[in-house]
């Protein structure tokens, strides 16, 4: 095969590898929903810097994973209900205090900061007491070591997400 054809096929190979990885991660995510107790309250954060979209667009499809727990585990996931008036789904009144006004996933380093030092001024209400208010945390993005081993118990993971039980 000549060099020109190799260069032409390179992006196709990268796409195929990325798509295969995402499909494998979605299959693992489906298994993770079976580990959530019915009615769990689930928070999602990202391993990256908080950018929306993330710097590596290959992980962007994984940002939908936590909201699928609503269907598969009858969980409450506040990210499903962002931007009132935009989405046709709204949370029940009991969950309004955990509404996310708008925006993407917070970086896990911010959750760690809140856990260690308290919520700084301007912290969105839904995460001010995240350890108390949520049962599980999905971390979306490239795998990292458990960022808070004293607060999070690893349940399962895949290359682009991890599920943790939040210790109370």
**CA torsion through residues 102, 124, 132, 143, sign:** positive
Banded pLDDT at 53 (limits 50, 70, 90): confident
Indicate the pLDDT class of residue 15, thresholds 50, 70 and 90.
Answer: very low
Q: In this structure, how many other beta carbons lie within 10 angstroms of the beta carbon of residue 159?
A: 15
Q: Where are the alpha helices (H) located in the chain, listed in sequence order?
A: 3-34, 65-73, 108-117, 125-128, 130-133
pLDDT at residue number 10 = 47
- Predicted pLDDT of residue 9: 42
3-state SS, one letter per residue, for 71-120? HHHCCECHHHHCCECCECCCCCHHHHHHCCCCCCCEEHHHHHHHHHHCCC
What pTM was estimated for this model as a whole? 0.83
* Count of Cβ atoms closer than 10 Å to residue 119 Cβ: 16
- Find out whether 138 and 42 touch, Cβ atoms under 8 Å: yes
Q: Could you give the CA distance from residue 164 to residue 137 in angstroms, rounded to a whole number?
A: 5
Q: Which has more pLDDT, 108 or 24? A: 108
Comparing 127 with 23, the larger pLDDT belongs to: 127
pLDDT tens profile 86-123: 666 777 778 777 877 666 789 999 999 999 999 999 99
**Sheet containing strand 42-46, strands side by side:** 106-107, 42-46, 136-140, 161-166, 152-158
12 has pLDDT over 80: no
Buried b (16+ CB within 10 A) or exposed e, 52-74: eebeeebbebbbebbbbbbeebe
Peptide bond into 126 cis (omega under 30): no
């Amino acid at each position: 095969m000549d060099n020109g054809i190799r260069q032409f096929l390179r992006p196709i190979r990268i796409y195929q590898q990325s798509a295969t990885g995402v499909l494998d991660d979605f299959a693992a995510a489906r298994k993770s929903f079976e580990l959530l107790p019915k009615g769990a309250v689930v928070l999602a954060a990202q391993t990256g810097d908080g950018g929306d979209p993330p710097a590596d667009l290959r992980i962007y499809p994984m940002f939908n994973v936590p909201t699928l727990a609503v269907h598969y585990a009858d969980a409450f996931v506040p990210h499903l209900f962002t931007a009132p008036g935009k989405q046709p789904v709204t949370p029940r009144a009991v969950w309004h205090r955990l509404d996310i006004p708008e925006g993407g996933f917070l970086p896990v380093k911010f959750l760690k900061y809140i856990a260690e030092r308290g919520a700084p001024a301007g912290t969105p209400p839904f995460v001010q007491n995240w350890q108390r208010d949520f049962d599980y945390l999905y971390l979306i993005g490239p795998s990292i070591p458990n960022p808070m081993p004293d607060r999070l118990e690893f349940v399962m993971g895949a290359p682009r997400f991890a599920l943790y039980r939040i210790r109370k």
